[in-house]
Structure 1
Amino acid sequence: MVSRRVRNYLGVFLVWLLLVLVLVSAGVISLPIPAPSPDSYDHATVTIHDENGTRLGSVDARVADTTHKRYIGLSDTEHLPRDEGMLFTYDAAQNHTYVMREMSFPIDIVYIGADDRITSIHHAPKPPEGADGNEYQYPGYGQYVLEVNHHWTTERDVEVGDRVRIENE
């Protein structure tokens, strides 16, 4: 038989647990979600060609192919090595808005349509110190979104309309 004191503690615990669950589901409070480990990502080689077929550049990209990996993205990453990036994949082309949440360096955000052509490019600066980055929004349309180092696209003359080839490793 359970004592009255234990039942009271259990009742208080359940009320607090229910309150936390309601506040989390309502978005009033958030619980930290750990970032995926770097070795949990698949990799792909992403190569960009101009309209004449000339190779403009290539990156080794971590593939963010789950909701959790897409949400975390490059947040809390200290830097992005040269010619590396992150490729966000979706089942179909659609409108997206990417933000600079917890970013400590600037990036280029490249939207790629289902036809493997670049639909838009944003040069996203590092958010100011103390900003959460969510107010820095970069919309676009695509089935894929490639994040690379800031001005990687400019240095290689990558433009809207260029063709992208993705090879899984």
Structure 2
Amino acid sequence: MRQRTAGIVVLGLVTFLVLVLANPPSGLLDPGEYETTTVSVHADETQLATVEVRIADTYEKRRIGLSRTDSLANGSGMLFVHPETGTYGYHMRNMSFPLDIVFVADNGTITRVHHASVPDGVVHEPYRGRGKYVLEVPRGWANATGIGPGDRVRIPENVTASNGYWRPWS
């Protein structure tokens, strides 16, 4: 009987550790310092806008995103860099200001633009899109600059994703 109880306890602890390591509470994550760069958006050869971005290139940085930011100035944002192209969903978890969420393919082509509101306490579906990059900027930026699907974002070649330790496929 004691062996069975011990086995159940060990199984419970292993299950708990697997769940925590697969999806750690965001309070445990310390993204460290964000590198910055400037990206520009073009329609054909016409430059529409530039944005000074913080680079979220690790799982920790992508998970926390702008949730610890009070506001964004015009011309600033965050560039999320994923290890590979995929379909990703972005939530407005813990956000205090609205955003434009711009999905960008690995070749720089904008594939989708969402205009995301501040959460009203209700859990909403994520804003989904396909790409390798996601650019978050103050809401209204896309309309004010005239950018949209098909335009191109020029991202410096040295901006790459770090697989990091936590779920590199996210």
User: What is the count of residue pairs matched by the alignment?
Assistant: 147
- Secondary structure of the residue aligned to 2:142 is helix
Q: Which has the larger radius of gyration?
A: 1
AA aligned opposite 1:156? T
Cα deviations by residue, 1:97-151 (Å, 9 ceiling, x for unpaired): 11111111100000000121100000001111x34x5x34100000110000001
Q: Distance in 2 between matches of 1:81 and 1:158?
A: 18
Q: Superposed, which structure 2 residues align to 1:75-154 within 5 Å?
A: 75-128=67-120, 130-131=121-122, 135-154=124-143
Taking only aligned residues, the RMSD between alpha carbons, in angstroms, comes to: 2.4
What residue ranges of structure 1 are gaps of 5+ in the alignment?
1-14
Paired residue for 1:48? 41
Q: Distance in 1 between matches of 2:65 and 2:89?
A: 13
Residues 1:36 and 2:26 aligned together: no
Q: TM-score under structure 2 normalisation?
A: 0.76
In the TM superposition, what is the alpha-carbon distance from 1:89 to its structure 2 partner? Answer: 0.7
- Secondary structure of the residue aligned to 1:147 is strand
AA aligned opposite 1:152? W
Q: Superposed, which structure 2 residues align to 1:19-34 within 5 Å?
A: 22-23=15-16, 25-26=18-19, 31=25, 32-34=27-29
Question: Cα gap change, 1:81/1:19 in structure 2, threshold over 3 Å: closer, same or farther?
Answer: farther
In the TM superposition, what is the alpha-carbon distance from 1:23 to its structure 2 partner? Answer: 3.7
Question: Cα gap change, 1:166/1:22 in structure 2, threshold over 3 Å: closer, same or farther?
Answer: same
What residue ranges of structure 2 are gaps of 5+ in the alignment?
1-8, 160-170
In the TM superposition, what is the alpha-carbon distance from 1:91 to its structure 2 partner? Answer: 2.6
